[in-house]
Chain A
Amino acid sequence: MQAFHPKTLDEALAAAADGATPLAGGTDLMVEVNFGKRRPEMVVGLRRIAELREWERSRIGSGVTWRRVERDGPRAYAQAARTVGSPQIRNAATIGGNLGTASPAGDGHPFLAAVDASIEIASTSGRRLVPWYEFFTGPKQNALQPGELITAVVLPERLPERHEFGKVGVRNAMVISTVCCVVTRDTEGSTTVALGSVGPTPIRVPAAEEMISAEPSPSDSALGEFARLVSEGVRPITDHRSTEEYRRHAAGVLARRLLERCLA
């Protein structure tokens, strides 16, 4: 295995153009290597590239670790960051790595979906900005083309006033989510709900959003209807972690509780 340790993005992009596999925190890639699932011939290490660790207002470099998001991120993004792996993992793992892996269970994804973030991607031929819904293309699949690297997450200039994250897992910490969710609500009542682990990609539930956005101060029955629409709108599967039925149920319960927190 050949490894490059560039200090500039241009050098890294050149290596990526030559087919090198990007390595940031290594908390996903090295697991795959250790399990014998991947055996990259060339690896380009991204940790020495200062530009990728920059965080300016709404533009967060892809090399920013989950520990930093946990400490400095917007509320729901920080709440999500707190649930990424263990402290050791969070000290190494990056938001770019989370997007590169594009797991349906990625804890950071629902926040990006809920606030309509974009992902900045670069290659030797330039940069492009991809909206989250075009970035995630399937389970562990994304819009990255060969030779491209994820350089930043771009949030909207203004975030909704209230946003809350929650994650259901079988253990009280350090667990792959069974369902994770972010609900946002602004002062006009406009509401978004995004969920992870309940579909091939992070998903929004437009029917639930439209219904509840029209309710300036939702009644108990409106909240119940919101939960029902979320449960109906998700597309979970049964696997070794949980069942379709439970995920559907938990998605609705969790979304309603997060909305209630936004309203409180």
Chain B
Amino acid sequence: MTTPTRTRPTVTSGIGDSPLRPDGVPKLKGEFQYAQDLWSEGMLWGATTRSPHARARIVSIDIGPALATGGVHAVLTADDVPGPGMFGLEHPDQPVLASDEINYWGEPVAIVAAEDPDTARRAAAAVVVEYEALPPLTDPEEADRADSVFRRLQIRSGDQEVTGEVVVEGYYEVGTQDQAPLGTEAGLAVPDGSGGVDLYATSQFVHADQSQVVEALGLRPEQVRSHPTGVGGAFGAREDVNLHIHLVMLALHTGQPVKMVYQRSESFTGHVHRHPARMWYRHHATRDGKLVRVEAKILLDGGAYASTTSAVLANACYFAVGPYRVDSVLVEGIGVKTNNPPCGAMRGFGAVQSNFGYESQMDRLAAELGMDPLELRRRNALATGDRNPTTQQVIQTPLPVAECIDSLAAIPLPDGDDPILPGGSGLTTDRSHIVRGVGYSVGIKNLGFSEGSDDYAEARVRLTDEGAVVETAAIEVGQGLVTVLAQMARTALGISKAIVRHVDTSRIGSAGSTSASRQTQISGGAVMEASRRLRERILAHHGGDELDDLGVHRAGELIAPMSELIREGWEETYTFRHPPTTPPDDDGHGDIHADFAIAAHRAVVDVDPELGLVRVVRVDTAQDVGRVLNPVSVQGQIEGGIMQGVGLAVMEELVIQDGVIRNPNFTDYLLPTILDAPDVEMLLIEQGSWWGPFGAKGVGEPPTISSTAAVAAAIRNAIGRDLNRVPVRPEDIAL
């Protein structure tokens, strides 16, 4: 006798798979709609008049010549800004358009709408602004002395009098890195005919854009709907608003759709940068390599406006010691206000800068002790249950510091020559001039928002004839969020057919920012929980015990087909929050962070010491990823993050003189090419997270945090000389 069996479809493309990303093929074929490609019938083009001075007083503005240009529909200045006219991600301290003072080079003074982009740009250039140039404040140490600061933060832990048998000191600098997303700032604002506007613009956080537009222009919240749109890279540059408020002003003023696309050079002034840092460190240790005390002073230049400087500074300070145990800590952090270009979020968010400081110190200490640099790190490795030495927070999440170090050490070193020599296609050298070096760095960073922020994301899951539809305002910037959210919905629902649909700010609650390595955990948490609840409700309603692509089953029998469920119109909305955090007390202590991730990097470099040229041969890594939800995406984040770290180590720097960016273009702001890209061997450490959905941890930032310091350490190792600054320039090696 045969028992009739039924083959139930299992979920495909769920958690653990690497399904084809839905935007992948359209992007490869050039068919994906980026914000640059937006179009609306009868639209005008916007352009911006910017200050040529880093600091000045505006004496007068004459818009007459610009307005007289044929094809120009509007020329607006600060006088035309309705409402308070100020914006800012954390503090509204930045004018929508400068009215009487200029605080940085490239600050917007006027905006124009015209019938084509060329006319708009020429009209913007025709706005006559009379300036009284003033001496800019550009030295961050001078700003500190003058108390021109956004935030000061002091962290004190343990006995402040204790000293070590061995003491090493160092001073370190990090230059200004730019996110340099390949897609520049772009957007389209479409008036709705009844006083409202639909805004489609490059973003990492549409709800914050919407609220800043509303508040700056004194509008009612329902007047502005901010829509997620195609973003060609972000890395932090899209967290602050730039052209958003300008577009809405022009659209409301002209009553026509207005589009704006920043050109490359304008993009470099149109978004915030990574904070340049100056850091003074003193490490105390016992002779056998146990850290006794760490003292650090960290000075970040926030530039002219606040942006996220206070949070970036805090991060730099909270991770000023690194993933190491030490009882006595003193950290002094200063985020200064100058007339340099404003700085804000960039991948790693402060943890990059201090990593270069503390890891350079760990190498210095290892050399002083005559100890293997990895052994020193292993002896001091922080672990779950320890207190973070700065904040004194007990670490509850799995924190595999020692495991990352040991795994990294187990990856075989490359043997043999690299096919690419330092200098690459320039043919500057042959092997006789090359020395090889190896360097290490271990980094730690928080995941999600910290210091008591209410960090949450809303998501909705609906059953429709398209399958399970995840609705979210969480921004896809190229990292693969739309892929992984669908995977989560599939696995949590038991349904293989799932897609992600972006909806605007009027149709769903905030997902928070696509930053802080947080969306997979937080929006992912919302999707997982909404899916889980939806499945339970459907099963309870039909009295079933299984839900799959066919419908609801009970004891192996289909009792409610999917078509019926679709007719019933099931949906579930959920708002996910990570465990609460607290602001710091007077000593910088508290449960400041929700989760942590670790990465360790080993760089192998070939250096031509005489010319100072470098070829980064390999950057190997062991990374604490929680759980791998999508192997290909995790690999992509790690390889890309390492490239951004390699860029900061050897070439990526905005050269700023007297407040003016000297290289705002891809001719002179150098991003690594494929001939500069190292091979990467990676080991993924999967110990889960204490709250992330499916055990996920954010994986986007850790690859960038310690790869820079590892490359710098490898160059030092090759040439046997100290280097206290990144990017390392040829002259720093050769002269």
Interface residues of A (CB under 8 A from B): 34-36, 79, 82-83, 164-178, 180, 239-243, 245-246, 249-250, 253-254, 257
Contact = CB atoms under 8 A, between A and B. Distances in A.
Contacts, number: 98
19 contacts: A35-B263, A36-B122, A83-B426, A167-B427, A168-B426, A168-B730, A169-B423, A171-B670, A171-B675, A172-B426, A172-B615, A173-B673, A180-B426, A240-B657, A242-B729, A245-B731, A250-B734, A253-B734, A254-B428
A172 B424 CA distance: 4
Interface string B320-336: 00000000000000000
A249 B735 contact: yes
B676 interface: yes
Contacts of A178: 730
A241 B433 CA distance: 24
Contact of A83 (B125, B425, B430, B667): B425
Contacts of B430: 257
B663 A240 contact: yes
A249 B609 CA distance: 12
A246 B426 CA distance: 17
A226 to B, nearest CB: 15
A188 to B, nearest CB: 25
Contact of A173 (B433, B610, B675): B675
B645 to A, nearest CB: 16
Nearest to B426: A167
B178 to A, nearest CB: 14
Interface residues of B, number: 40
Nearest to A258: B427
Interface string B692-735: 00000000000000000000000000000000000001110011
B393 interface: no
B241 to A, nearest CB: 25
Contacts of A239: 662
A177 B427 CA distance: 12
A253 B611 contact: yes
Interface string B665-707: 0011010111110000000000000000000000000000000
B428 A175 contact: no
Given A240-B663, A245-B735, A250-B730, A257 B675 contact: no
A172 B676 contact: yes
B655 interface: yes
Given A173-B674, A174-B673, A240-B668, 5 more contacts: A166-B427, A170-B650, A171-B670, A175-B670, A254-B428
A1 to B, nearest CB: 10
A171 B653 CA distance: 13
Contacts of A36: 121-122, 125
B69 to A, nearest CB: 14
A172 to B, nearest CB: 3
Interface in B409-435: 420, 422-430, 433
B313 interface: no
B613 interface: yes
Shortest 8 CB-CB contacts between residues of A and residues of B: A172-B424, A240-B662, A167-B426, A246-B731, A172-B675, A240-B655, A173-B675, A173-B425
B60 interface: no
A257 B424 CA distance: 15
A81 B676 CA distance: 19
A176 B667 contact: yes
Contacts of A246: 612, 730-731, 734-735
A264 to B, nearest CB: 10
Interface in B119-165: 121-122, 125
Nearest to B674: A173
A171 B676 contact: yes
A240 B125 CA distance: 26
Contact of B263 (A34, A82, A169, A180): A34
B168 interface: no
Contact of B427 (A79, A171, A174, A245): A79
B265 interface: yes
A170 B263 contact: no
Given A166-B428, A240-B662, A250-B611, A171 B735 contact: no
Given A245-B735, A253-B611, A35 B265 contact: yes
Nearest to A171: B670
Contacts of B423: 166-169, 172
Contacts of B433: 257
A93 to B, nearest CB: 14
A243 B420 CA distance: 26
Given A246-B612, A250-B611, A173 B424 contact: yes
A19 B668 CA distance: 32
Contacts of A180: 426
Contacts of A241: 668
A82 B425 contact: yes
B651 interface: yes
A253 to B, nearest CB: 5
Contacts of B425: 82-83, 167, 172-173
Contacts of B427: 79, 164-167
Contacts of A175: 426, 670
Interface string B421-458: 01111111110010000000000000000000000000
B293 to A, nearest CB: 38
Contacts of B615: 172
A171 B668 contact: no
B668 A242 contact: no
